[in-house]
Amino acid sequence: MWHILVKGGWMMIPIVLCSLVAVAIIIDRLFYFWRVGKKNRAEEVIELVRKGRVQEAIRIIDDAEETGNSAPVMKVLYAGITHAFEPEGAMETAAVSEVSGMKRGLAALDTIITLSPLLGLLGTIIGMINAFNVMAASGLGQPHAVTGGVAEALVCTAAGIFVAVVALIPYNYFLARIERETDLIETAATRLELALGAPADALRRPLIESRQADLHGSRRGVSA
């Protein structure tokens, strides 16, 4: 295998470097999404906030942060809970930050997917030029030298396409995971906004009912 790669010429060096960077990014993102995919307690946090037990909800998020299992949705909920007077803006800012974190390294991976086949094609063209130079120098009396050079040149194209194909599959998987996590964040943020309004409504409701009762009593006194 190594012998075949060496035959690809010096253009194999950037292709190998691209493959190493791609592998590093893929491993990093797989570990990240594996950690994010663990069971989060967003539903429990929202339910506690709805019941007015805000401190317990914050404690759950802090515990998840300390154990390293804090999902992006939990961090967004924490921003909304700790900024109860303006939860929408706080959660929007936190969500943008978390989505940017999920996309870390994907721009480089996308570049590698596009660049690797082009590097392979460039290496093949360089190899073809060298093969024709051999043909010009030795004539047609040595066809094996020409065909051997062409075969070696095609190694670059094969290597570049291989790197792109291997990187493309996890890249699309990561994009799908980001889409799913983004939908989860949007849903949880909307539910938390409603939950944050629930305690206030619960406090206002007895006052409204008392005021309506007083107004009804005063009307009865006037009619009497």
pTM for the complete prediction? 0.75
Mean pLDDT of 17-30: 95
Q: What proportions of the chain, in percent to the nearest 5, are helix, strand and coil?
A: 90, 0, 10
Summarised one tens digit per residue, pLDDT across range 3-19 is 666 666 677 889 999 99
Nearest Cα residue to 159 out of 2, 51, 46: 2
Instruction: Say if CB 123 and CB 160 are below 8 A apart.
Output: yes
Nearest Cα residue to 158 out of 14, 2, 15: 15
Q: What count of other Cβ atoms lies within 10 Å of the Cβ of residue 64? A: 20
Instruction: Say if CB 18 and CB 163 are below 8 A apart.
Output: yes
Summarised one tens digit per residue, pLDDT across range 123-134 is 888 777 776 776
Summarised one tens digit per residue, pLDDT across range 78-124 is 888 888 778 888 888 888 888 899 999 999 999 999 999 999 888 88
Buried b (16+ CB within 10 A) or exposed e, 87-105: beebbbebbeebeeebeeb
What residue ranges do the domains of the chain occupy?
A: 2-218
